[in-house]
């Protein structure tokens, strides 16, 4: 009498086992290791060329990398907390340049918290789910960058260029975006709780599902936050 119930239990268990690989993939996504060969590098005070360096999961806390060239460097899960990266170049492949397209390195979950990134170049770079809390990104160029899910809590981003950036699910609580250019950015479901957006350019940005307790709504062809009204 219990055989049908046992059969159903066994079938459900087999289905669950078949789902395990999918669950593992969704929980621990691929690191997107670059296909091209990387270099083994050591951070040195006199060194500025770190292109194509393999810094996967590296401890680079407090590193002095101001003005360094980090294009193509692999920074997946790298810890750069408190580093000096002012003026550093971390740009990805220019989508309009066929010679660089396809050379992009996806650096998931890099830690830039408390770092100096003023004037840094992140154009077209791929840093999804990166952590920029309490960092200085003033004047940084993040045009076209993939920053999905990135965290910018209490980050100083005055006059930063975020035109066309992918900031879907990004978090900006208490971030200072004074004068920042967010034109054409993907800001769906982003969180702007207590963020400062005075003078920010928002024309063409997609705020669908974004959270802002002020509930701003913009008018005009090229609205800035002072042209927005409460809903």
pLDDT digits (tens, 9 = 90+) for 115-144: 999 999 999 999 999 999 999 999 999 999
- Check whether 24 has a pLDDT greater than 50: no
Predicted confidence (pLDDT) per residue in 95-116, tens digit:
555 444 444 678 999 999 999 9
- Check whether 18 has a pLDDT greater than 70: no
| 176-184 long-range contacts, CB within 8 A, separation 24+ | 183/222
Domains in the chain, CATH or no CATH each: 39-231 (2.160.20.80)
* Contact present, 133 and 153 (Cβ < 8 Å): yes
Lowest mean pLDDT: which of 44-53, 129-138, 151-160, 215-224?
215-224
User: pLDDT value at position 98?
Assistant: 45
- Separation CA 151–CA 170 (nearest Å): 6
* Contact present, 187 and 206 (Cβ < 8 Å): yes
Predicted confidence (pLDDT) per residue in 172-230, tens digit:
999 999 999 999 999 999 999 888 888 899 888 988 888 875 555 555 554 545 454 43
- Check whether 148 has a pLDDT greater than 80: yes
């Amino acid at each position: 009498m219990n055989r049908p119930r046992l059969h159903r239990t066994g079938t459900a268990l087999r289905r669950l086992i078949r789902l395990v690989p999918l669950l593992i993939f969704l929980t621990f996504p691929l690191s997107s290791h670059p296909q091209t060969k990387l270099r083994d590098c050591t951070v040195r005070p006199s060194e500025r060329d770190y292109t194509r360096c393999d810094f996967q999961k590296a401890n680079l806390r407090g590193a002095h990398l101001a003005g360094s060239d980090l294009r193509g460097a692999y920074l997946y899960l790298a810890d750069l907390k408190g580093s000096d990266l002012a003026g550093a170049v971390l740009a990805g492949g220019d989508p309009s340049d066929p010679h660089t397209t396809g050379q992009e390195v996806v650096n998931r979950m890099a830690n830039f918290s408390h770092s100096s990134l003023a004037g840094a170049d992140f154009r077209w770079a791929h840093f999804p789910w990166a952590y920029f809390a309490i960092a200085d990104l003033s004047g940084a160029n993040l045009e076209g960058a993939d920053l999905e899910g990135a965290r910018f809590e209490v980050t100083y981003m005055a006059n930063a260029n975020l035109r066309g950036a992918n900031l879907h699910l990004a978090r900006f609580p208490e971030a200072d975006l004074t004068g920042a250019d967010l034109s054409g950015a993907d800001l769906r479901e982003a969180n702007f709780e207590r963020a400062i957006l005075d003078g920010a350019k928002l024309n063409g940005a997609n705020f669908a599902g974004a959270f802002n307790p002020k509930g701003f709504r913009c008018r005009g062809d090229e609205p800035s936050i002072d042209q927005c009204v409460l809903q």
